A and B are shown apart, each in its own frame.
Chain A
Amino acid sequence: MPPFLNDLWLVYRSVFEFALIGSALGLSMYVVLRTGLLSLASAGFMAIGAYVGALLTIHLHVPLLVSVLAGALAAGGIGLLLGLPVLRLSGVYLAIATIGFGEVVRVFMLNIDSVAGRTITGGALGLNNIPRKTETWHLVLFVAVLIYLFIRIDRSRTGRAFDAIRQDHHVAASMGIDVVRYRNLAFLLSALIAGAAGVFSAHLTYFVSPNEYGFNGAVRILTFAILGGYLTWLGPIVGAFLLTFLPELLRFLGPYRPIVNGVVLILAIIYLPRGLVDPRFWRKTLRRRSPPPPAAPLETSG
């Protein structure tokens, strides 16, 4: 590697790693959005994964892979418990339930020690000195596996069912698609992915604390998926990379920096409802002749 590239890598390696974790989280948001629902639970699932993985590593010294699987399964199991009742209701209820869920997770991690009478999650201080086990290639591989998974889903019955449900879940239901089952599947996938991402993140930053994963965490992840677009798996990844590298360039904004997330969210949802990665938009812009676009924009009926 030429020396300047080497320097660049040293400087931006950690930003790159955060962008990869962000991509995974963005994908966990994307898979639910794709069925026409808004879930803000990704941050909560990430927290569950992070704590479960970190505790396993600290106390039982298990290999990273075992932690990742355990964290993902723990988040997935709780995701199923949350999704099964709520996904029968309209979309607003899921949004609200998942916001509430995130808070329950946060308060639980914060207070479980004083209730149990011994140190488990470390309360507000969180868990420190988690060994750094996550390597860059783990994350690259993780995101690659997710991309492969979503390419397979795109070409399957499941992917078409997801798209049909997003466009009109009443019509989808009348065509014999089990709307509740597919939405539960999407929600479960989302929880599994976020849980695994949480484990990787805990073993990357050495520590976990309850307040990392609150509502603001959820909003950050949502911004990835909305800016990048949630019609393709590429969207959230592009969104995560842009929004992870962007704040480095916006340091001059100082205390006003979080404003960027808000502005991006509003502008994107109003002027770019299909996100940056929108094949139809780019095709039209580049004026190339092409077959009619595959997916209609998100028009959910709740």
Chain B
Amino acid sequence: MFLQQLVNALWLGSVYALFALGYTLVFGVLDILNLAHGAVFMWGAFFGLMAVTRLDMPIWAALLVAMLGSGVLGIVLDRVAFRPLRKRNAPQLAAIISSIGASTILVSLAQGAFGAQVSRFPLDALPSQVFITGPVRVTLIQIIVFVASVVLMIALLLFMRRSRSGKAMRAVAYSGRISALLGINVDRIIVTTFFVSSALAGASGVFLGLAFSAISPFMGAPIELKGLAVIILGGLGNVPGAILAGFLLAATEVFGVAYVSSDFRDAIAFTVLILVLLFRPSGILGTAVERRA
């Protein structure tokens, strides 16, 4: 029982972490709370689904298509919803509102295009092996999702630490103005940030669509809200914090459902969210930041 829950927590946590990573990255670099991240996640799942059903692609190629598609969608999102506000130097609040509008548009577009019903990946497109060792049951899908998510996370961390773009991204996160003075092309870094963040959202959309075998225009909303709990728990803008918090939240949910009650499964994330806001608003790995006028 315990081991089985641990396995469930690990793969679910890897998806939460992957989703929250892009969420927190945009906040870290741009100070924007992008509430359309869940909608991009949902479109990623549909891009993957289209690639498999319409173009007969294997699942790994569909994943690449989904990441590319949602990455580009992220850039469009920035152009339409955020860039005009940035140019005007509008308050943070305006960007949140704009992202809510973008999210509504993306969800209703998907609803119009794919209908409100739940779609799923065709069964023959997926490996269906199940491994049973002792009391623990793991599907190959869960293993693939976990490994692929972890690989993507490590790739992002390396990208942030080692590559020139990644370093520039961290510089822009520290101060856009100073980075511009140092000759960093801030516009390009912002585009990169949105691409990377949205591509990760798209990948997690495909993963969750695979693991739960359910894709619908409304699949973004629940994870959007759980992602909020994750990024608050990890500390807003904190990338390693989001990874840790993703696994923590998944573990809390999985063990909470197993040992306490399943009725309040969806409330667990928000209870965590509100408790963190009450007692440690800077998150588990965060440090308090003093803001100046």
Tell me if chain B binds chain A: yes
Which of B83-91, B138-146, B202-210 is found at the contact surface with chain A? B83-91
Q: Which of A99, A256, A265 contacts B101 (CB 8 A)?
A: A265
Report A245-271 residues with CB < 8 Å from chain B CB. Answer: 254-259, 261-266, 269-270
Q: Do the beta carbons of A101 and B105 come within 8 Å of each other?
A: no
Please give the distance in Å from A268's CB to the nearest CB on chain B.
8
Q: Do the beta carbons of B112 and A300 come within 8 Å of each other?
A: no
Report A89-141 residues with CB < 8 Å from chain B CB. Answer: 89-93, 95-97, 99-101, 103-104, 107-108, 111, 114-115
Please give the distance in Å from A186's CB to the nearest CB on chain B.
14
Q: Do the beta carbons of B271 and A104 come within 8 Å of each other?
A: yes
Q: Which of B98, B104, B106, B261 contacts A269 (CB 8 A)?
A: B98
The answer, yes or no, to whether B232 is at the interface (CB within 8 Å) is yes
Q: Do the beta carbons of A103 and B91 come within 8 Å of each other?
A: no
Q: Do the beta carbons of B108 and A259 come within 8 Å of each other?
A: yes
Given A96-B273, A111-B264: A266 and B98 interface contact (C-beta under 8 Å): yes
Q: In the complex, A36→B96 CA distance in Å?
A: 13
Instruction: Write out the residue numbers on chain B whose beta carbons fall within 8 Å of the beta carbon of A213.
Output: none
The answer, yes or no, to whether B6 is at the interface (CB within 8 Å) is no
Instruction: Write out the residue numbers on chain A whose beta carbons fall within 8 Å of the beta carbon of B96.
Output: 38, 92, 95
The answer, yes or no, to whether A177 is at the interface (CB within 8 Å) is no
Instruction: Write out the residue numbers on chain A whose beta carbons fall within 8 Å of the beta carbon of B291.
Output: 90, 301-302
Q: Do the beta carbons of B104 and A261 come within 8 Å of each other?
A: yes
Which of B127-135, B244-252, B274-282 is found at the contact surface with chain A? B274-282
Q: Do the beta carbons of A262 and B232 come within 8 Å of each other?
A: no
Please give the distance in Å from A252's CB to the nearest CB on chain B.
13
Q: Which of B93, B107, B261, B266 contacts A38 (CB 8 A)?
A: B93
Q: Do the beta carbons of A258 and B261 come within 8 Å of each other?
A: no
Q: Do the beta carbons of B278 and A85 come within 8 Å of each other?
A: yes
Please give the distance in Å from B257's CB to the nearest CB on chain A.
13
Smallest CB gap from A90: residue in B: B291
The answer, yes or no, to whether A295 is at the interface (CB within 8 Å) is no
Q: Which of A37, A96, A270 contacts B228 (CB 8 A)?
A: A96
Binary interface profile of A, 40-82, with partner B (CB < 8 Å = 1, else 0)?
Answer: 0000000000000000000000000000000000000000000
Q: Do the beta carbons of B33 and A95 come within 8 Å of each other?
A: yes
Q: Which of B33, B97, B274 contacts A92 (CB 8 A)?
A: B33
Given A95-B96, A266-B81: A103 and B104 interface contact (C-beta under 8 Å): no
Please give the distance in Å from B209's CB to the nearest CB on chain A.
21
Q: In the complex, A296→B276 CA distance in Å?
A: 35
Q: Do the beta carbons of B221 and A215 come within 8 Å of each other?
A: yes
Given A96-B228, A99-B225, A103-B225: A266 and B293 interface contact (C-beta under 8 Å): no
The answer, yes or no, to whether A222 is at the interface (CB within 8 Å) is yes
- Add 9 more A-B contacts to A92-B236, A273-B88 (CB < 8 A): A100-B269, A104-B274, A222-B100, A262-B102, A262-B106, A269-B90, A270-B98, A298-B91, A298-B93
Residues on A lying within 8 angstroms of B by beta carbon are: 33, 36-38, 85-86, 89-93, 95-97, 99-101, 103-104, 107-108, 111, 114-115, 168, 170-171, 215, 219, 222, 226, 254-259, 261-266, 269-270, 273, 298-302
12 residue pairs from A and B, CB less than 8 Å apart: A38-B97, A92-B96, A93-B232, A97-B277, A104-B270, A107-B266, A170-B293, A219-B100, A257-B108, A258-B111, A259-B105, A266-B102
